Structure 1
Amino acid sequence: MTVLKRYVLRLFISLKYITANVVDRNNGRIVATASTVEHPLKNTLECGRSCNAKAAAVVGEVLAMRLRVEGLEHGMGRGIHVDVNKEIEKKGFKNSTKIWSIVNSLKNNGVKLIYDGEENGHSRPSY
């Protein structure tokens, strides 16, 4: 049985760290990840007590690069699913700028994204 939304973007945002994972829902495996916890990113970003939208954009850029290396920037032809509204609801409105920074960075770096959850009248802002 094939899951229709095979590749899904999952975000984890705390005050100090930002992590973005792309999960293969067929086997539950993380196929690519990027995080401000990683030393190369941590040392170049000045997160200090909290990470900002700039740090989130860098996480998205690194994740996009890693997806390209894995050959998954197009999610095996279908795309990578993301429900931004659900992520904002879970992470809180204060983190919406960080969430959109990650999503826009992925999109700007050639990752094909499929936006879920827009049928209820919510849609992407036009930045």
Structure 2
Amino acid sequence: MAVLKRYVLRLFISVKYITANVVDRNNGRIVATASTVEHSIKNALECGRSCNAKAAAVVGEVLAMRLRVEGLEQGQGRGIHVHVNKEIEKKGFKNRTKVWAVVNGLKNNGVNLILADDQNGVS
């Protein structure tokens, strides 16, 4: 039986780094990833000792490009699911702008995102 929410966006945010993964829940593997840990992204940013919303937006843009290369920007017709409120709660209130920066970076670069909310599941 196939999982309805096959592709899911997962975020890992710390004071120094931001990592965004798209996970295929059918087989549990990461299909695309982008992070400020990568030298190509880290050297292009002026983060210093911490990453800001600008760095988060760059991570979203890079992830969108990698999804296009894999042919998954549409999530194989179903879209890529992201539960924004859950990601914000998991990371804490201070990182709200970083979470939205990654999401907007993906959306602005043509990735089909399905945003879930707490009331009815999808918005």
Q: TM-score, normalised by structure 1?
A: 0.93
Q: Which runs of 5+ in 1 are unaligned?
A: none
Tell me the amino acid that sits aligned with residue 19 of structure 1: T
1:3 alignment partner, SS class: coil
Q: Does 1:45 align with 2:45?
A: yes
Cα distance in 2, alignment partners of residues 85 and 22 from structure 1: 17
1:105 Cα shift? 0.7
Alpha-carbon distance in structure 1 between the residues aligned to 2:99 and 2:40: 21
Q: Which runs of 4+ in 1 moved over 4 A?
A: none
Report the Cα offset of residue 25 of structure 1: 0.2
1: CA distance between counterparts of 2:119 and 2:66? 30
Aligned counterparts of 1:33 and 1:14: Cα–Cα separation in 2:
16
The one-letter code sitting in structure 2 at the alignment partner of 1:14 is S
Distance 1:115 1:41 in 2: 26
SS at match of 2:22: strand
Match of 1:64 in 2: 64
Q: What residue is the counterpart of 1:12 in the other structure?
A: 12
Following the alignment from structure 2 to structure 1, what is the Cα–Cα distance between the partners of residues 48 and 14?
A: 13
2:119 alignment partner, SS class: helix
Secondary structure of the corresponding residue to residue 8 of structure 1: strand
- Quick one: which amino acid aligns to residue 59 of structure 1? V
After superposition, give the CA deviation of every residue in 1:19-69 in whole Å (9 maximum; x if it has no partner): 000000000000000000000000011111110000000000000000000
What's the TM-score, normalizing by structure 2?
0.96
Q: In the alignment, which residue of structure 1 is the partner of 2:35?
A: 35
| Deviation at residue 80 of structure 1 after TM alignment | 0.2
CA–CA separation in structure 1 for the residues paired with 2:4 and 2:61: 26
The answer to whether the aligner puts 1:95 opposite 2:98 as a matched pair is no
- Percent of aligned positions that are identical: 84
Q: Distance in 2 between matches of 1:111 and 1:90?
A: 23
Partner of 1:21: 21
Q: Structure 2 CA distance, aligned partners of 1:31 and 1:118?
A: 26
**3-state SS of the aligned residue for 2:61?**
helix
Q: Which amino acid in 2 is paired with 1:4?
A: L
